[in-house]
Each structure stands twice: as C-alpha cells, then as structure tokens.
Structure 1
Amino acid sequence: MTVRWGTLVFTLVLASVAAFLLAVLSAVAGFGGGVLLLPVFVALFGLRFAVPMLTLTQLSSNGARVWLNRGAVRWRIVGWFAAGAVPLAVAGGLLLTHAPLSPLKRVLGVFLIGVVVWRRLPRRAGPPRERTFIGVGAASGFGSALFGSVGPLTAPFFLAYGLARAAYIGTEAAAAITMHLTKIAVYGAGDLLTTRVLLYGAALTPATLAGAWVGKKVVNRVSDHTFVVLVEIGLVVAGLLLLAGFS
C-alpha cells in the first residue's frame, strides 16, 4: 500500500510540475500548453483519463487567464466562437466516450505534427470577420473534445483578427472556457468524469493557477518567438512518440 501511495504522489508531483510549466507557457505565448500537456497526461494516466483531466486543468488555467486579462476580452468574438464550439464539442465528447483508444492515439500523433505544419503554411492576408469564428469554434470544439486542446490551430485566427497581448490571451481563454464547460458536461454523461479524474484534476488546479499567474508576470519580458519554436519542437516530438506507440 505504501508503494502505491508513493507512486501516486510521485505521479501527481510530476503532473503538477508539467501543468505549472505549461500553464506559464500558455500565459506567455497564448497557446501550446494544452497540446504539450496532453502527451504527458497520456503517458501518466492513459488517453481515456488524460483528455477529461486536461479539460479540468485547462478550465482552471483559462479561467485565471480570463480574470487576469478581463478588461481586454472581446466578448462578441467569444459569442460567435461559442455558437460553433458548443454543439461540435458535444459530438467530439460522445465520440471519445465510445471510440477505441489505439486508433485515437495514432490520430493524435498525426494531429500534433499537423499543428506545426498548419502553423507554417502561408495564409492569405486580411483579418477574418466576426462570423468566421463560428467555423473556427466548430472545428475547435470537435477537435478539443477529442484531443484535449487545439489552441495552436485556432491561434492564427485570433491573431489575424488583430488581437494582441492581453486582448488575445483573454479572448482566446474565454472562448476556450465555453468548450471546456461543454466537454465536462458530455464527459460526465459518458461516465468519463470518474472520482479519480475529479480528484486528480482538483490536485493539479493549484499548479495551473500558479503557472497562469507567473506567466502573466513575464509576458512582456520574454520573446514570443522563442516560445513558439519550443512549442513546435515539443509537438513534433510528442506526435512522433505517439505514432511510434511509446505513449
């Protein structure tokens, strides 16, 4: 019993450190923490537990980012995003509940590498219209429910609209909360929110809140480009490991 408790404590400490560091990364770069944290959670807890746990930690992290940047949030954008995100998050959550795990891990590996490719593709100039965020939200809601986080895919749209720094970080986080709340409801209906998941999610919450606070303090002192490069390297490595079957 002692060994089991020791293993549990070690696992939670390791997960908390990862959650803290990646919450700092999200607060500084505006994206990347969730998609990098997912492979860590998959390795520690398994995919079926990892996605709901990630949703709980992201809910607290994004909530903190909204509060810290509340004066700059563009709520109209959040509303359009939610209109597409909520129904598709329900569909993605239901699929996660019933889909076999092995193919999902391979798809997740392709998804992580695809994120980097997507970000490197040239895109046409010109800011998107507000209604465009219905489609952005729909794609994000489905992908987020299935893979835990799709922030790097949606980030270019928020940035192209002209949001920067506090406005970008706060608005993106508020939009993400609409997905996370929907996913939690679907996971609960599908019996994915077990007592273990809830307890682990609660245990990791202080680390994500602390990370969001620290990230807010350093957001104007660190090069965004450096963080973006590190995120992309991490995504490729994690994707290759998942494709190779190491997680």
Structure 2
Amino acid sequence: MHFDWAMAGGSFLVAVVVGLTGMGGGALMTPMLVTFFGVSPLAAVSSDLVAAAVMKPVGSLVHLRRGTVNLRLVGWLCAGSVPSAFAGVLVARALGDGASVQDVVQKAMGVALLVAAAGIVVKAWMSRRRADAGEGEDENPEIAVRPLPTALVGSAGGLVVGMTSVGSGSLIIVALLALYPALRANQLVGTDLLQAVPLVFSAALGHLLFGDFQMEVTGALLVGSIPGVYLGSRISSRAPGGIIRRVLAFVLVVSGLKMFGVPAVPLAWTMVGLAAAGGLLWLYGRLLAPARRPRQDGPGGVGEPGRQQAGDQPAAGHVGDPVAS
C-alpha cells in the first residue's frame, strides 16, 4: 500500500486547526483531498469521516480533562445529530452524486460561516468596549440550555454531515454561537468537539457500509491528524479566549470563502491579508489601551490617586485618624 507523506502533512495542519477551533475538518480536509491529491469526491468524504471518527475523540478528551465542555449541550445536540447523520448517507445515495444539492448546501454554509465570523468580531468589539468602561465579563456564565432548538440544530447538522462530511464543526459551531452567545470560546470549542464524536461515528458507519472508503487515504489522514488535533486541543483548552476567538474568526472566513469555490491562490492571498490586518488592528488596540484605561480618581478629585502607592509616605498622623495631631 502506497503511503502519502504529503497527505499526512496536510492532515496534520488541518487537524491543528480542528483542535484549536473545533471546526475545519470537513470544510478544509475534504477540499484538500479533492483539490491537491486527486481523490474522488465520494472517496474523500468517506475516508475523511472514518478518519474523523478516530481524530475527534482525541481532541475532545483533552477538553473533557480541562473541564471546557458543556455536557448538557452535548447530550441534546447528539439526540438530534446521531440518527440524522446516518440518514444523511442514505439521502446522499438516493440523490446520486447530488452535485446540485451539495452546491446549494455549501453556498448556504458559506454565508453562515461569514455571518458567524462577523458575529465573533462584533462580540469581541463589544467585550472590549465593556472592558474599557470598567465592566468585567463573567468568566463562568450560566448557560440556560434550550432543548428543542439545540436538538433541531443537531438534526440539521447531522443530515449535512452525512451527505457532505462538512458541518460537524462548521455548521454546529455557527448555530451554537447564535443560540448561546454567552458561551466562552474554549467551552464552545470543547463542546463542539465532543458532540461531533457520536455524530461522526454515525456518519462514518454509514459510509463504511454504503460509501467509498479507501484505507490508504484514511491511514495517511490518521498519521497526521491524531498528533495535530492533540496539539491544537492542548493549546485551545489553555489559551485565553481572545486568542481562540481570533483564530476561530480567521478559520470561519477562510472556510466560508472556500464554500464559494474561491481558487487556492486568491484564497492564500486573502489569508495573508487577513493575518496582516488582524495584526495591525491588534497593535492599534494595544497602543490605544493606556489612553482608554479609566483613571483612578481619589476622593480629592480628578487625578488624585485613589490608594496609597508603594513607597509613598503617609501624611502626619496615623492612617484612620480623623485629624492629624
């Protein structure tokens, strides 16, 4: 059996992104197999899903150990996604190659991904405004789980995954952002990775039975993706939420453009431009941060320190004496 080390290297890079953001496996891995390695679309979908069934548990276990998973959300998502993922494989077979159907689905997902990226940017901007105003964010917000909408999101995501292998991260994470905007970034990634495990297992079983699974493709994907998703998950479970949000927004934009069939070269230049623009915006924000930080005004008026600084000598008399003797 021929082993493709280039394919393994590509899958490592994609898996790092999956571990960091919870998404990108189908949106990036399947197009990579078809575009760069000449794998047929059905074989790419089947082999990618079987590899993901092994890769996703590795990343989700890292987040479980770190406590960055909302198990109630996972349960309701899986209630809808597991049966519909298997059904999606049967629907795909009934539609033949389903090229027109998949084209519509991918373009709709492209719009959703770009909207989600915009939502992350707006949320980050609002968080920054609150921080500048001295209002802290709740580090452990209470999430009121909405069972029916969550299960319906799982059903829709599972159906799309079974048909295209795209959506176990991309589609679900967009819906989670809309339903639960208070969910912290690392909880969003951890919850999405864990809910994808039974979803991908169900879809992979369908493709093993009815698809075009190829062992040599899956083997190369596993060699690269297992260490990649472990590394990405370790980083995302420990990294500050702001960093994860930036990476997630970047991947959402790239994945969304890929859904619209943007060629590789313009997509690469877009990635470079986004990275440069993001770096400049971050630098601009850092330079303005001291000017926007609220001043600590003391009881005597603006500009007076509100508390004694290290090294300052107290006024005559003891602290707390109403009148100095």
TM range (shorter): 0.7 to 0.9
What is the match of residue 154 of structure 1? Answer: 172
Q: Distance in 2 between matches of 1:68 and 1:122?
A: 27
CA shift, 1:21, in A, is 0.8
1:149 deviation in Å? 2.2
The CA deviation at 1:105 is 5.2
* Paired letter, 1:236: L
What SS does the aligned partner of 1:100 have?
A: coil
Counterpart code for 1:68: V
Q: What secondary structure does 1:39 align onto?
A: helix
1:31 pairs, out of 17, 23, 28, with: 23
**Correspondence for 2:56:** 62
Cα distance, 1:175 vs. partner? 0.8
- Find the counterpart in structure 2 of residue 89 from structure 1: 85
Distance (Å, rounded) in 2 between the aligned partners of 1:38 and 1:87: 23
Contact preservation (8 Å) 1:36, 1:235 = no
Q: 2:249 aligns with which of 208, 212, 228?
A: 228
3-state SS of the aligned residue for 1:177? helix
Cα separation, 2, equivalents of 1:20 and 1:60: 14
Give ranges in structure 2 of 5+ residues lacking alignment. Answer: 124-142, 264-325
User: Which structure 1 segments of 5+ residues have no match?
Assistant: 243-247
The one of 9, 12, 15 equivalent to 1:17 is: 9
Identity %: 19
1:158-197 correspondence to structure 2 within 5 Å: 158-159=176-177, 160-161=179-180, 162-190=182-210, 192-194=211-213, 197=214
Q: Is the 8 A contact 2:102 2:164 kept in 1?
A: no
Give the one of 67, 73, 76 matched to 1:80: 76
Structure ranking higher on relative contact order (CA contacts 8 Å, 6+ apart): 1
> In the aligned structure 2, how far is the partner of 1:156 from the partner of 1:107?
18
**Are 2:138 and 1:144 aligned?**
no
Q: TM-score, with normalisation over the residues of structure 1?
A: 0.79
8 A Cα contact 1:17 1:207, kept in partner: yes
Distance 1:241 1:122 in 2: 22
Identify the structure with the greater helix proportion: 1
Quote how far apart the aligned CAs of 1:82 are. Answer: 1.3
Q: Report the counterpart of residue 289 of structure 2 in structure 1.
A: none
Question: In terms of mean alpha carbon deviation, does 181-190 or 163-172 score higher?
Answer: 163-172
Cα deviations by residue, 1:142-185 (Å, 9 ceiling, x for unpaired): 01111212122221443453433443322211211111111122
Pairing 1:227-246 to 2, within 5 Å after superposition: 227-241=248-262
Q: Which has the larger radius of gyration?
A: 2
